[in-house]
Chains A and B, each alone.
Chain A
Amino acid sequence: MISRRDQVLGYVLLSIAAIAALAPFVGVVILALGEPGQIAPSLDISQATHFGNFGDVWNIASFGASMKASTIITLTIVVVSVVLSVPAGYALALAHFPGRSAIFFLFVFGLLIPLEAMIIPLYFDMRKFGLADNYWSVILPDIGFSVAFGAFWMRAFFMGVDRSLTEAARLDGANSLQTLMRILLPLAKPQLLTLAVLFFVWNWNDFLLPLVMLAGSEIQTAPISLVYFQGQHTTDFTYLAAGALITIAPVVIIYILLQRSFTRGVLSGAVKD
């Protein structure tokens, strides 16, 4: 049914779109490797040999400390949120208790609330409990946002599980926890991986929350370091390009390694940015 001409046209159009998506990144890589300190750096690929730029920026913007802080914060959020989302989604899908749908709708409601509508009390109220200017001041709220999506996501998976599986486990004498751990979790591995990848990407990229919650401390996440560095080196585009690449590197690496998991997450309508 599909003509050869349409086929070729399809490739051409998709290639144009892919080039439009990738070209700025290619430009930034060439820029980052150029000679530093120029006002209007030219994109000359033969000059793109200054690999030391990454080391310079790493030191000037103290990316060492901020990449470490971002890693600790993000991985803690990912692990805790996945661990809390699984039983929540399980109960919302397969347990029967009064208020179950109300709790489910409460979580869905949370997916719609923007951080902007929470950030002010978070800043002032957490401060009262000594939960400001430290890792926890970012980790705890991000776990709160993440589990709202995670419970929703895992519930959808558990709803789709064949009931005869859980019933068989029960007849076999397994209690609800054993059913979850031994029967359902092994089946859920792809969904768990997708959830972890989504949590990682969202939380690594997060900016407003750490900007506000860590404002009074020395702790910076990678995006914060990049933005502060830009504030001091507004037009040093070569170094800024190197800083941008350092900031996005972990997400890009994870994305390329686990891109199947990520695509599945977005394609199934992961309704959260």
Chain B
Amino acid sequence: MSTEAALANTPVGGGRLRTSPSSVAPGEPRKIGYAYVLPALVMYVLFVLAPFIHTIFLSFFSWDGIGPQEFVGLDNYKDIWKSPVFRSSFVHSIVLIVFYAVIPLLIALLLVSIMNRSKIRGLTFYRTALFLPYIVAPTAVAVIWRWLLSPDGPINSGLTAIGLGALTRPWLGDFTFALPAVGVVGTWVMSGLVLVLLLAGVQKIPTSLYEAARIDGAGAWWEFWAVTLPGLRYEIAVVLVLTVTAALRNFDIIYVMTSGGPGTSTIVPSYLVYQQAFIVGSLGGAAAIGFVLAVMIAVINYVIARIGGTSS
């Protein structure tokens, strides 16, 4: 009766009992599947899907959280378009995508192409180090970087020490530089992750492709363009999904580092949802921003997945 014995006695594939050509083996669980899925599905529907649908519903109302809800049609969405602050929050998101997704990808591609598939010993150590900024709490990352960027902090002292004292400024209090400063934090968090994922990907590209390119007399640039980049298509799609989503959902870092300031120079949709809902008390408007954010994330992920040729 032991399972090992049963395994030993079963022909591989177990095809002899199969009567139909369908992939459904006759004895595989059927209706009982509902019982297995149900507990997870109930939790998911109650605490993810239902609130999401309720958000869409709320976005068509004006509501302060206490009084009656008043139907306003698409007014909340029109406000997003009309209000300069709301609109700028989406522009800031695009700037942050450059810092969270584009720059880390360019840095990683540059390193990966220069490293030219060299076998690295102690990769485990490098991975552990490079992943660290990504796994620690973003709130702690934000606290650490508030210090690094503070007026008397290491970044300004470093600039002064190398004779670039003229560049020092209170980074997070500067209307022009607060957003890029927050963006640099994203670059720091994401670059290691992107590098490790691309390093793993480049090892999987068959050596024969590189040899063929060299026989054809390809230079380093052409080799990168014709072999490395296409070979990394899947990995690039994965890292873009991770980094772009993180850029659009950076509530923690904005809340701790700038609260959207100075002025509204670092305000992002994610922070606006919180501010409009729980500080201002404009819940319909906040719901509309939340829904637009969700649509943006879905659309961008869909486009990346299509270009990357991945299904999941």
**A interface with B by C-beta (< 8 Å):** 1-2, 6-7, 9-11, 13-15, 17-18, 20-22, 24-25, 27-28, 31, 39-40, 43, 84-85, 87-88, 90-92, 94-97, 100, 103, 106-108, 110, 112-125, 140-141, 143-145, 147-148, 150-152, 156, 163-174, 176, 182-183, 201, 204-205, 207-208, 211-212, 215, 222-223, 226-227, 230, 235, 237, 240-241, 243-245, 247-248, 251-252, 255-256, 259, 262-263, 266-267, 269, 271, 273
Contact = CB atoms under 8 A, between A and B. Distances in A.
Most-contacted residue by chain A among B27, B124, B287, B289 (CB, 10 A): B27
Contacts of A244: 140, 143-144
Contact of A87 (B36, B135, B270): B36
A17 B54 contact: no
A144 B51 CA distance: 11
B256 A230 contact: yes
Contacts of B138: 205, 207
A25 B40 CA distance: 38
Interface in B137-186: 137-140, 143-148, 150, 152-154
A24 B7 contact: no
Nearest to B47: A144
Contacts of B35: 91
Given A176-B36, A259-B127, 16 more contacts: A7-B118, A17-B111, A18-B125, A27-B148, A95-B28, A112-B301, A113-B48, A116-B294, A121-B55, A144-B46, A164-B11, A167-B27, A205-B138, A240-B147, A252-B135, A255-B131
A116 B111 CA distance: 35
Contacts of B144: 24-25, 28, 241, 244
A154 to B, nearest CB: 10
Contacts of A141: 47-48, 51
Contacts of A170: 25, 27-28
A149 to B, nearest CB: 10
Contacts of B118: 2, 6-7, 9-11
B137 to A, nearest CB: 4
A88 B12 CA distance: 27
Nearest to B143: A244
B14 A164 contact: yes
Contacts of B9: 168
Given A24-B188, A172-B3, A273-B245, A91 B44 contact: no
Nearest to A43: B154
B215 interface: no
B116 A6 contact: yes
Q: Which 9 A-B residue pairs are closest in the complex by CB-CB distance?
A: A95-B33, A144-B47, A40-B152, A91-B36, A10-B118, A121-B54, A172-B6, A88-B40, A87-B36
10 contacts: A1-B210, A96-B28, A112-B298, A116-B273, A124-B65, A140-B46, A164-B14, A227-B143, A251-B137, A267-B197
Interface string B263-301: 000000110011001100001001101110110011001
User: Mostly helix, strand, loop or mixed at chain B's interface?
Assistant: helix
Interface residues of B, number: 115
B140 A91 contact: no
Interface in B181-212: 188, 191-193, 195-197, 200, 207, 210-211
A188 to B, nearest CB: 14
A173 B6 CA distance: 10
Nearest to B133: A21
B102 interface: no
B285 to A, nearest CB: 10
B241 interface: yes
Contacts of A85: 40
A181 to B, nearest CB: 11
B39 interface: yes
Contacts of B232: none
Contacts of A237: 147, 150, 153
A137 B148 CA distance: 35
A86 B120 CA distance: 36
Contact of A266 (B10, B44, B131, B152): B131
Contact of B126 (A18, A122, A205): A18
Interface string B1-41: 10100110111111001000000110111111111110111
